[in-house]
Amino acid sequence: MSSTDGDNNELVSGRGCGHCTLCCKLLEIKQVASPRGEWCRHCAVGVGCKVYAERPSECREFNCGYLLWSGAGEHWYPARSKMIIVLDHDGSRLAIHVDPKRPNAWREQPFYADIKDWARRTASQSTQVVVCVGEQHIVILPDSDVDLGTLADDERIVTGQVTENGVLRSFAIKMRADDPRLQA
């Protein structure tokens, strides 16, 4: 995603949350102790926030990728797709959070084709594309998908490319955050 695609916090014209409240379920909201995967106690599902005027800054400052990025077509509207696109880790990860009630939604078309396209376009920018279904993390690479399972708080996802037998291949692994190889 480049700034011309809308990741500069300006909303895509004509888009809004409407009846979507999926971020209130799929994302952790630390300021109100709402864990990922559970509806926030302040959410009126399909309506909005019951404490909207006093909502925490974490919620006040959040906009999903559908609202910010024109590269996510109308089919990515979270209430319909059951997925939320989030650019996180200081812009180095494009995460697609999937509603666990529809765990394979990301594999359906046109979503999977979009995700693979994003992986191809961002590979040279060192941006990771990761599908998150609950605690499961699946790294989407241009030439494969790598299921890393759960990611502990002290683990990091590392992606890159290596040449094997004269062929350039993408890889994804998880490493402990204190692994000295991450400091190199």
How much is the pLDDT for 44? 95
- pLDDT digits over 77-120, tens only? 999 999 999 998 777 899 999 999 999 999 999 999 999 999 99
Which pTM was predicted? 0.89
| pLDDT tops 50 at residue 66 | yes
| Residue 101 Cα distances to 37, 49, 134, angstroms | 10, 22, 10
Task: Please enumerate, as own/partner, the contacts of 29-38 that have beta carbons within 8 Å and a separation of 24 or more.
Answer: 29/56, 29/58, 29/59, 30/58, 31/56, 31/57, 31/58, 31/59, 32/56, 36/97, 36/134, 37/100, 37/134
How much is the pLDDT for 152? 92
